[in-house]
């Protein structure tokens, strides 16, 4: 492993491996299989990129997204690593040139889309020159019960069948026990050692609030906490994506839509702007984000409920890849529950599929309605032990109050029953509050015994009651009757007075002010005026170099590396090389330009000369 450490330092610019990278790299480099479940930002790509440089031949990486391949290849080129990709974005001539490079042994890594891999032409190419290894990225895509199933991944068992001596490594950030079993089965990884590296992302603050006026709530969240930040807003429908993106643009934000109904050209253009520009907000369906490597996404907001905890974890995990503080914020309401359950009812899956999807949705609802630590519940879902309080979720920061909702639940359930289990929540609330509407008079519901018995709660409080009753399966939604509420068998114990039910109080979300600067978020503390100017100058230099080469700025250097430049202010090439993320290739390409910027901010009165940073310990 001494050679691996040398490559880590000289090529990738890091002084030491993270746990358990070294063991994974050693296993794959020695020709054995591995299954790696590692949180986003944990260093998964290093687990196959470094073995690719240790082993003879070209490593073949199966990746599901064109944008992800381009991003990885651009980043490797900056390190002096020979990498190319094969996918539908290439012309026939370009694809032929890549194939020739592979055949002649010029490549260290070749990224291939799964649909391209299974073509006979590609298989013939791979048989002509034995690959160094196969890496199956985003391996959860093989699981039919998972949150992001891709049918092309089902054919990847051919890797073991046709290339039995080539080691394989499957990697994903999100896989519960069921999904891991399916990955092993479908990829024939029975002999692979499994590395389950934990799911905790301590830098992400999880917050879920009750949905009242989602636009107003989102606007308040953005303006008070993330006015100049890059982030993602997820919506369930394409129409809503377009609407929210237009509205945010009108409010002064640089917001772009992304969904499968757009042309491929426009989707790619918007994604490239998100990757390469500062302070861009992408408003998207779940079609966006898998494998997006942008490290400084400061927030992920959900305006609709994800269908499972796996999906929620995967989507929120796109924030804070750099380890700096980030926010996962969601506004959630009763209509989200109704909409997702209706989508499941209308799906073409068999009863077993619907049963499992219902179980996953119920787990997601449980996370939303829980009154204890969100992170503890989230990690518990993935069978990971954690402290009962994390100190960095809304339930820990502002403990949630509960109240005895038994009587309110009895009133709600009785009103649903006495009105015939034929009406939606708005009408039932009007009955409970003694409303004078045409519909109430038309159906004679002002004569019901439950008419007006709920005047002690306002409409929003009743919505909270009904949301919690539906989420906990005391009430069901009849989609054949246009979303009418109906009683479930589970509610009998409440109506009989045999069960007490405590409900959460939906308090108004407390506003949080954004730290003054990006640097202030880190453990380094507040910036001086000089630091402010140096930080801006370093970012401007990075942006200029990125635009010249047509790559995202973080491909040049991550924010974390710029922060180290600002803190340690190296003044020589040897000191610059000590920064994390600076290897030999980047020192040669960019060292002089960044050192010149740092030198221009050197304060002569500080007494620090060119020797400063020579012996700095990072």
Give the best-scoring range by mean pLDDT among 487-501, 524-538, 590-604: 487-501
H or E segment to which residue 458 belongs: none
Average pLDDT on 352-375 reads 87
Cβ atoms within 10 Å, residue 373 = 23
Q: What is the pLDDT of residues 257-313, one digit of tens each?
A: 999 899 988 988 998 899 888 899 999 997 676 657 789 999 999 999 998 898 899
Is 50 exceeded by the pLDDT of residue 420?
yes
Whole-number average pLDDT of the chain: 89
Residue 604's pLDDT is 54
Helix, strand and coil percent figures for the chain, each rounded to 5: 50, 10, 40
- The rounded distance, in Å, linking the Cα atoms of 266 and 300 is 22
CB atoms within 10 A of CB 343: 14
pLDDT tens string 508-564: 665 454 443 343 344 344 667 888 899 999 999 999 999 999 889 999 999 999 999
CA nearest neighbour of 474 among 495, 449, 453: 495
Checking if the pLDDT of 616 tops 50, the result is: no
The CA-atom distances, in angstroms, between 222 and each of 196, 219, 252 are 35, 5, 11
Nearest of 297, 358, 303 to residue 323 by alpha carbon: 297
pLDDT value at 614 more than 50: no
Asked if pLDDT for residue 459 goes beyond 60, the answer is: yes
Average the pLDDT over 334-359 and give the result: 79
Between the alpha carbon of residue 412 and those of residues 248, 407, 451, 464, 604, the distances in Å are 37, 9, 11, 11, 74
pLDDT for 46 beyond 80: yes
Give the list of residues 6+ apart from residue 129 with CB closer than 8 angstroms, or none.
57, 58, 102, 103, 105
Does the pLDDT value for residue 149 go beyond 70?
yes
**Enclosing H/E stretch for 133:** strand 133-136
293 membership: H or E segment, kind and range: none
Are the C-beta atoms of 566 and 535 separated by less than 8 Å?
Answer: yes
Residues 163-185 have a mean pLDDT of 92
| 98, 110 contact by CB (below 8 A) | yes
pLDDT higher than threshold 50 for residue 21: yes
Give the span between the Cα atoms of 568 and 565, in whole angstroms.
Answer: 6
The span from the CA of 472 to the CA of 337, in Å, is 11
Alpha-carbon dihedral of residues 480, 481, 484, 488, nearest 10 degrees?
A: -50
Chain center to CA of 170? 19
Q: Which residues of 181-196 are buried (b: 16+ CB within 10 A; e: fewer)?
A: ebbbebbbbeebeebb
The reported pLDDT for the residue numbered 526 is 60
Task: Domains for the chain: give ranges and CATH numbers.
Answer: 2-196 (3.40.50.300), 204-397 (3.40.50.300), 402-504 (1.10.10.10), 518-606 (1.10.150.80)
**CB 29, CB 602: distance < 8 Å:** no
Name the more confident of 291 and 152: 152
The number of beta carbons lying within 10 Å of the beta carbon of residue 246 is 13
pLDDT of residue 513: 46
């Amino acid at each position: 492993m001494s050679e691996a450490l040398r490559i880590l330092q000289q090529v990738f610019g890091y002084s030491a491996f993270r746990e358990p990278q070294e063991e994974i790299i050693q296993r794959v480099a020695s020709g054995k299989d591995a299954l790696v479940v590692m949180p986003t930002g944990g260093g998964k790509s290093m687990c196959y990129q470094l073995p690719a440089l240790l082993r003879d031949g070209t490593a073949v990486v199966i990746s599901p997204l064109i944008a992800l391949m381009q991003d990885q290849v651009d980043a490797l080129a900056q390190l002096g690593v020979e990498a190319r990709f094969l996918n539908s974005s290439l012309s026939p001539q370009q694809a032929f040139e890549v194939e020739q490079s592979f055949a002649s042994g010029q490549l260290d890594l070749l990224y291939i889309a799964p649909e391209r891999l299974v073509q006979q032409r590609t298989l013939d190419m791979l048989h002509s020159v034995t690959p160094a290894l196969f890496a199956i990225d985003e391996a959860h895509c093989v699981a039919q019960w998972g949150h992001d199933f891709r049918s092309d991944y089902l054919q990847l068992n051919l890797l073991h069948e046709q290339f039995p001596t080539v080691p394989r490594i499957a990697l994903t950030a999100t896989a519960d026990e069921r999904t891991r079993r399916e990955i092993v089965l479908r990829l024939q990884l029975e002999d692979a050692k499994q590395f389950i590296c934990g799911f905790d992302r301590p830098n992400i603050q999880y917050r879920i609030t009750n949905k009242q006026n989602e636009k107003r709530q989102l606007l308040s969240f953005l303006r008070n906490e993330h006015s100049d930040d890059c982030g993602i807003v997820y919506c369930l429908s394409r129409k809503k994506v377009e609407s929210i993106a237009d509205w945010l643009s009108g409010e002064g934000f640089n917001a772009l839509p992304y969904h499968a109904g757009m042309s491929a050209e426009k989707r790619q253009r918007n994604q490239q702007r998100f990757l390469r520009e500062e302070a861009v907000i992408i408003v998207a369906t779940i079609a966006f984000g898998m494998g997006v490597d942008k490290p400084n996404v400061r927030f992920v907001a959900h305006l609709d409920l994800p269908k499972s905890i796996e999906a929620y974890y995967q989507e929120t995990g796109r924030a804070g890849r750099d380890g700096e503080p980030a926010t996962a914020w969601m506004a959630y309401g009763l209509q989200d529950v109704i909409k997702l359950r209706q989508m499941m009812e209308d799906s073409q899956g068999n009863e077993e599929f619907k049963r499992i999807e219902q179980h996953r949705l119920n787990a997601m609802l449980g996370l939303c309605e829980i009154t204890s630590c969100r992170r503890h519940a989230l990690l518990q879902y993935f069978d990971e032990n954690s402290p009962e309080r994390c100190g960095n979720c809304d339930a820990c920061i502002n403990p949630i109050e509960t109240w005895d909702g038994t009587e309110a639940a009895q009133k709600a359930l009785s009103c649903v029953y006495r009105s015939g289990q034929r009406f939606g929540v708005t009408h039932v609330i009007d009955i409970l509050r003694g409303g004078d509407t045409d519909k109430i008079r038309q159906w004679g519901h002002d004569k019901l015994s439950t008419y007006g018995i709920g005047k002690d709660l306002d409409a929003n409080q009743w919505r909270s009651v009904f949301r919690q009753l539906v989420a906990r399966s005391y009430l069901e939604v009849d989609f054949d009757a246009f979303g009418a509420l109906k009683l479930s068998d589970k509610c009998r114990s409440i109506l009989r007075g045999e069960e007490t039910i405590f409900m959460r109080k939906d308090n108004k979300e407390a506003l949080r002010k954004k730290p003054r600067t990006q640097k202030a978020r880190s453990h380094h503390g507040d910036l001086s005026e000089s630091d402010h100017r140096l930080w801006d100058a370093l970012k401007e230099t990075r942006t200029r170099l990125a635009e010249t080469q047509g790559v995202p700025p973080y491909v040049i250097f991550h924010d974390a590396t710029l922060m180290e430049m600002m803190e340690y202010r190296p003044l020589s090439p040897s000191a610059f090389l000590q920064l994390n993320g600076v290897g030999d290739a980047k020192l040669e390409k960019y060292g002089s330009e960044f050192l010149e910027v740092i030198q221009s901010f050197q304060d002569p009165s500080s007494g620090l000369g060119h020797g400063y940073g020579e012996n700095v310990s990072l």
